[in-house]
Amino acid sequence: MIKMKIKIIGSGNMWTAYNSASYLIDNEILVDMPNGTCKNLFKIGVDPREVNYVLLTHFHGDHYFDIPFYFLLKSKANNTEVNIYCSKEGKRKNKLLLKLAFPNPAQEVLDTIKPTYNFKNNFTIKDYTVTKYLVDHGRMKPAYGYIFATENIKVGFTGDTTICKNVEYMASVCNYLFCDCTLIKGDKKHMGIDMIITLNKKYPDCKFIVSHLDDSTRKELEKGNIKNIIISEDNYTFNILK
């Protein structure tokens, strides 16, 4: 049977020894590219040159600061295909970051890879129909989550967000939801265990894979076995049957 393979590249927030939240789908689609992503992929035997699609949730450094290394690497590879999905300011921000990181080859790198940008709310990647949802990450606007749909399976990624209408919607339709659970008690920017428990009660058919975890949150989660809540770990692979 065909599977959707999701590898958790990072499950922690920035201030932990865990990698920052990021997910690799079928070895060629990345959701977020935090600082350290290329190195983290090399360490587990995944070649970042094989990544052709990058979806960015928002423009905080711990979600896109490895873009310059990825662009430079792709410009030297045989496979130079780069497709970026994000909000409109992404094109300018990624270019600026590349210029800061590698001032001399920056333009040559862009001329070689010619990254394709897609700012739409609905698009297709391989077998997946992907939909982008506005979420609520406090002052950081816009911030997005994504749902990948294929055949009878829906898998969502909330990105950084507090609980909001679209996160509820995602929980109501998804079989699996990879979600921000930075805190023990959620605030205006991030969800916490309390909010995930609320979602879990309301949407029992959804499996919540909590991520972007602070160490204190991970410790708290590890105390109790909460049904349908899965604690994410770096380099853990989910094989989802379609």
Chain residues binding Zn ion by CB under 5 A are 60, 62, 160
Burial class (CB in 10 A: 0-12, 13-18, 19+), 237: exposed
Residues 6+ apart with CB under 8 A from 92: none
Angle between helices 193-202 and 165-173 (to 10 degrees): 50
CB nearer to Zn ion: give 73 or 221: 221
| Minimum CB distance to Zn ion, residue 227 (Å) | 27
Nearest to 51 by CA among 59, 66, 60, 90: 66
| Minimum CB distance to Zn ion, residue 50 (Å) | 25
CB nearer to Zn ion: give 136 or 160: 160
CB nearer to Zn ion: give 77 or 184: 184
CB nearer to Zn ion: give 139 or 201: 139
| Minimum CB distance to Zn ion, residue 81 (Å) | 27
| Minimum CB distance to Zn ion, residue 36 (Å) | 13
User: Can you tell me the distance from the alpha carbon of 132 to that of 54, in angstroms, rounded to the nearest whole number?
Assistant: 13
Residue 178 contacts residue 200 (beta carbons within 8 Å): no
